Each structure stands twice: as structure tokens, then as C-alpha cells.
Structure 1
Amino acid sequence: MSDLWPGERGTIKAKADFNVSEDVAALRKAIEGIGTTEKTLIDILTHRSSSQKQAISKAYEETTKRVNLCSLSDTLLNVCVFCVHIFPSFFILTFMQCFQGAGTDTNILIEILASRTNKQIKEMSAAFAEVIKKTPMQELKTEVSGDFGKAILLLAEGARDESTNVNADKAKEDAKALYQAGEKRLGTDESKFIEILCKRSIPHLRQTILEYKNISGKTLQKSIEKEISGDLEELLVAIVKCVMSTPAYFAEKIYKSMKGAGTDETTLTRVMVSRGEIDMLDIRAEFKKLYQRSLYKEISSDVSGSYGDCLKMICGGED
């Protein structure tokens, strides 16, 4: 399995002169010595690609017959665990979190499935099935229902068209169909929203969103928020946001995780780690554009200690 879709816009890069034995020795010294040298952990885990971290994790376990990170604080432990298990274990850990406790955490489901391509979803599904011995689809079918369930299952099976060609007339047709399924009628035809937003290609949807504004006079997001409610509303709005800009979608999630009293460290950790190797530079740019403040400064003022140091390393610098 390849790295977690690394891109040129990530802040975490593969180390050129990578030596797994040296890293394992350094980690053993940091973890197993008297007290934990957190700086060494942070430095290694935020300056290696996901495949390099998988190699380190495997070699560490083979050498020590254990993974001992228990002396870390809970917050730093979480970020280190996510860093080590970036892929495929990261997806499995994250996906299974949705089903822990009473009910299903639909927010995580929405984040995972609204922001990934068919290829990414299929890679994640294969990894999940290999470890859990059943597919995410099988798991989801027992957990979700109704219109939200239909939409989530369409995304989970990778049903989205992947054509890069955009037919302006068809985009207008879909925009008109969405208008007639929502604002133009009494009651809402949710199935039409699900069909179009969960199955059409991303370039096509981008054009459809523009055409919708011309027809309706308001944005598709505003119409969804007015016409649809609950988990389905949250999912469809997330799809629209990701169609327009996935980095902006994640910048908003990071901002909300730090806004107000207390910090949602689980969401903050998950997003920072999972996007660090993919598009963190773009997320930083969108964050600055949206909130007139650098992500690095926001992290510095919101979280502290080794946990804050780790997130700042993933962030990659000031803008």
C-alpha cells in the first residue's frame, strides 16, 4: 500500500536519508529511558512520510515486542498514535471510532466520506476489510438508515462519476432539477439531492453549483440548509464545501475545533495528522483567508506543551 496520497502541498515529507534502524534506536532511547524525551518523538514522527513511519512502527514492534508510549500525556499519545498509524490503520482507527459508545458518530463518517475520492475510499475499504474481516459497507448497513443512510452508502461504495469533462447543459439541467426538488416545491425531494450530489463528478458539481446560483439567486448550500435537516443536511453541505474547496472545508473544521471554551482535541488531532502529508499548505492558506489569522498562531494560542509543539511541527510554519 502506498503512502496516504501524499501531495506536493503537504508539510510532512519523506526523509531523504531515512534509516529505520537509527530511528528505532532513537525512539527506544526516548521512550524506554528514564522519562520520555518527547522532543525526539515529535521530531521523528513529524518528519517522516507515512510509509517510513509504518516501517519504523513495524521494526520497533519486532525489536521490542511491544509498543510502549504509556508515559506520554493523553493528548500527545493520541497524536503520536495517529502519526504512527497514518495508513491504513489510521482509517481503521478513525472509522471504528464512529461506532464506539451509544449511537453512531456521524460527524466522523461525514468527514471521511465527503472529502475523499473513489480511489481513496476503495483503498481505505480494502484496508478495513483486511483487518476487520468485513467491509465498511457491511458495517454501515447496520448503523445508518433513512435518506442519510442511502447517501452515506452511495459514497462508501465509491459510486461517484470520475469524468473530468464538464457539459454545461447537463450541469444546468441538474441545477434546475435541484431547484425544482427543493425551493420550487412544497416539501423536498431528498432523493434528487442525494442522486446528484453523491454520484456526479466533482468538476460537474462545481459547474452545477454555479448554475444553481444563477437559477435560484441563492447558493446551493443555503438552499440545502433551508430545505433539509439533520445528518443529511450536514452531509450534503459537507459535499458542497468539499466540491468547492477541500482545504477550506478542513480549515473550517480546524477553526471550529479550537473555537470557544475548550478544544476538541480529537478532531484537531485527526485533521492535522491526516492532512499533514496531503494539503496542509493549502489548508493554512485557506485558514488565513477565512479567519485573517495564521493557523500557526491559532495553534500557538490554543494548545500548549508537547502536544502544541507537535501540532505546530505538522502545521509547518508561520504564514
Structure 2
Amino acid sequence: MATNKPTVVPVDHFDPAEDCRRLHKAMAGMGTNEKALIEVLAKRSAAQRQILIKKYEEEYKKPLIKTLQKELRGDFEKLVLACMDLPAVMEAKKAQKATKGMGTNEAALVDVVCTKNNTEIEKLKAAYQLVFERSLIEDVRRDTSGDFQKVLLTILRCERSDSDKVDEEEAEVEAKALFKAGEGKRGTDENVFTEILCKRNFCQLREIFKQYEKVAGHDFEKAVKSETSGDLQKAYSTIVSVAKGVHEYYADKMEASMKGMGTKEDALIRYIVLRLEVDMVNIKEKYHQKFNKTLEQAITKETSGDFRAMLLELIS
């Protein structure tokens, strides 16, 4: 397993007062010095930016977030504001938006919930409770149903094993159980799929998928597509993709956000901000390997102005 390498790390010799002075100077008077904002904000960790939010208000008696909103516009503003949240808070906001009001954005819930390990899920739930003073589990329970609900709730309850151990014998047994519950019978026993996909650690799942190919003669993703549909299929497919390779999963997501006519800026912002302090170097390597171009080249082609400049600074 490759070691995760971030592109943004806490800066040494962090001086919040000096950073706030530079931010204030960049936004004082007519116009804004976007380059100076990027120079500070793109090179600080999310935790350090939280310190800047508090320090700025202490020093200048006005909230930094509102000042940034007043000074900035468009995709650059969206990117800067996304960076000013802790990643778990950004994800909590996406989850809340997916369950708020009439109808549920199931695809967004899959994207937030089914991609995370237990540690990330605990941070997500805590951020959701802190920001909205509600339980994410209860909101998901209220807004979903059936087998799809069962998948989300099993993950949100952190029932996935925390171990990274791989048991080959057990993997062979569970690969056969998956085949028997799906392609080996009429109809599908979704309970077996959910039990295995939502409770086994990702390393064990990779071994199960390897054993499944021996049993079925093709990969497990084909079984998911033939045996399930709709939101449940999306949930299972996402878990399979993340288990097979989280770096490739996010490389694919970033490519999809820039492919075709127009760029899906909100998606691109979210994926990049989410992975900056986790494994952005690994994702860039996988992206280059898979798409025969660098992520920097794709961003340079698909974005412009200060938005482009800050994205490039964040991933450099």
C-alpha cells in the first residue's frame, strides 16, 4: 500500500497575526489583491485557517468570512470559502443539503457517505451535529428507505472493521456467499451484499473481489450492475471503487468534473479541497498514469484566472 502524501501541510513558523495583516492589506481600499490572498490561504492547513478566522476578528473587529464574501466573486470565491471550512464541515454541509427540503439527493449522499472510512465518518457525524445541531443518522433515516437506507446507516454506525488484516480463507468463503446471494440464484439477497460490503475492511474487500473473479469468471462490479439498480447500485459500486483504489476513485472524479462541455466547478472544488491534506500527491500520480496528462495540465486547460491560480497552488 502506497503511503498517502498530501500537497498541503501545516506551515512551519506559523504567525497568525502576520498572516491576518497580509490578508487585511490584500482586501483594504479599492480592489483586492487576489495573489496575496492565494499566497496566504493556499499554503495553510485547514486547521491553521481556522485559527486565522478567529485571529482576524480579534485584530480587525470584523469576520474574515464575510469580508472575503464581500471582496470575492464567482468560482474563486467558492474555492476560497470551501478552503475556510474544515473538510468534515464541508462534507456535513453537502450531506445536509442532500437531505434538506422536498426530495433527497441520493447521489450526493452516496458520494459523501459511501467513500469514507470509520475515522472520516466519525468526523462527518460530529461536524454535522456541531453545525446543524441534528443527528446525521436520524436525518438519513428520515429521508431514505429500504436496502439503500440500510447501506447508509450501516456505514454511518461505523460497523466496518477497523483492521487492515486480510484473511484469504474468509475472503474465499465470502466471495462464494456473494455469488450465491446474487448471480448464483434467482433474485438477489441484498442483505448479504450489504453485510459484506459495508462491514469488511477495504483491504479484505479487495481480496474478496479477487476471489470472486475466480468463482464467477468476471469481476464483482459486473455482478453489482446485473444484480442491483438505482441508488443501491450506486452505493455498492462506489464502495467497490473506493475499496479497489481510493486514489483512482478520486482521479476519476476529478477527470469527470472537467470532461466534456463546461467544467463542473463545484464538484472539482469539493474533491480537491477534500483530498489536499490526505493524498493529493497520490491522486495526481494516478491521474497522470490513467489519463496521460497531469492534473495541472487539465486544470490549466479547463479553468482560468484566480480560480485556476489557487487550484494550481493548492495541488502543487
1:87: how far off? 4.1
Q: Distance in 2 between matches of 1:22 and 1:106?
A: 44
1:102: how far off? 4.1
2:245 aligns to what SS in structure 1? helix
Structure 2 partner of 1:94: 94
1:32: how far off? 3.2
Question: Which of 23, 30, 39 is equivalent to 1:27?
Answer: 23
State TM-score, norm by structure 1: 0.93
Q: How does 1:215-230 map to 2 (within 5 A)?
A: 215-230=215-230
CA contact (8 A) 1:171 1:208 kept: yes
Task: Kindly provide the amino acid, as one letter, of the partner of residue 234 in structure 1.
Answer: K
* Superposition RMSD in Å: 1.6
Q: Distance in 1 between matches of 2:305 and 2:276?
A: 20
Q: Distance in 1 between matches of 2:21 and 2:299?
A: 31
CA contact (8 A) 2:46 2:86 kept: yes
CA contact (8 A) 1:299 1:308 kept: yes
In the alignment, structure 2 segments of 5+ residues that lack a partner are none
Q: How does 1:9-28 map to 2 (within 5 A)?
A: 9-28=5-24
Q: Deviations over 1:213-264 (max 9, x none)?
A: 1111111112101211111111111111111111110110110011111111
1:184 aligns to what SS in structure 2? coil
CA contact (8 A) 2:206 2:243 kept: yes
Structure 1 partner of 2:47: 51
2:210 aligns to what SS in structure 1? helix
1:88: how far off? 4.3
CA contact (8 A) 1:182 1:188 kept: yes
Q: Distance in 2 between matches of 1:173 and 1:240?
A: 18
Structure 1 partner of 2:62: 65
2:143 aligns to what SS in structure 1? coil
Deviates more, 1:134-143 or 1:278-287: 134-143
Task: Kindly provide the amino acid, as one letter, of the partner of residue 9 in structure 1.
Answer: K
Structure 1 partner of 2:191: 191
CA contact (8 A) 1:113 1:155 kept: yes
In the alignment, structure 1 segments of 5+ residues that lack a partner are 1-6
Structure 1 partner of 2:140: 140
Q: Which runs of 4+ in 1 moved over 6 A?
A: none
Q: Deviations over 1:59-93 (max 9, x none)?
A: 22333332212231221111111101124432332
CA contact (8 A) 2:46 2:87 kept: yes
Q: Percent identity?
A: 32
1:94 aligns to what SS in structure 2? helix
Structure 2 partner of 1:244: 244
CA contact (8 A) 2:99 2:140 kept: no
Q: Distance in 1 between matches of 2:57 and 2:99?
A: 28
1:42: how far off? 1.5
Q: Distance in 1 between matches of 2:50 and 2:44?
A: 10
Structure 2 partner of 1:81: 81
1:101: how far off? 5.5
1:104: how far off? 2.0
Structure 2 partner of 1:279: 279
Q: Deviations over 1:149-208 (max 9, x none)?
A: 110111111110122222211111110111111111122222211111001122211110
CA contact (8 A) 1:224 1:236 kept: yes
CA contact (8 A) 1:50 1:87 kept: yes
CA contact (8 A) 2:161 2:200 kept: yes
